[in-house]
Amino acid sequence: MDRDDLNKRGLKRNVFCLPYNPELTGRAKELRNNLTHAEELIWDKFLKKHKYRFRSQKQIDNYIVDFYCAKLKLVIEIDGEIHDSIDRIEYDNERTKIIESYGIKLIRFSNEDIYERFDYVCISINEICNCKKR
């Protein structure tokens, strides 16, 4: 996407060369300071200390993703029940398509996964990280 296309969409490029909407900066900071319980759990107990650096509530394009690792070009989304509605599923699919168009892999876990299968989630993330690094 060239600079004119980005400007038409109100996007800028960040230090990782990913376009982002600067109008979302305040919202991203607010979300970082108010993680959901499931996001806080995976962040505090796993991602914050992961061998690959993850960032919380990262702006990409016109979206804010839950967790992003620039080195691996990996997004991790933690989905609550709101993501179960038909409208939200369609929105999430379109959002995923746009984010993946930047060469980013996006994976999703539900709140239930975090609460009931935490070890499985951590193992899955590590496996994906190890595969992405090869």
CATH of the domain at 113: 3.40.960.10
Given a cut of 70, the residues of the chain with pLDDT beneath it are 1-8, 12-16, 81-85, 132-134
Could you give the CA distance from residue 31 to residue 68 in angstroms, rounded to a whole number?
Answer: 14
Domain range spanning residue 21?
Answer: 3-133
pLDDT confidence of residue 17: 74
pTM of the model: 0.84
Q: How many domains does the chain have?
A: 1
What Cα–Cα distance (Å) separates residue 34 from each residue in 50, 52, 66, 131?
21, 23, 12, 31
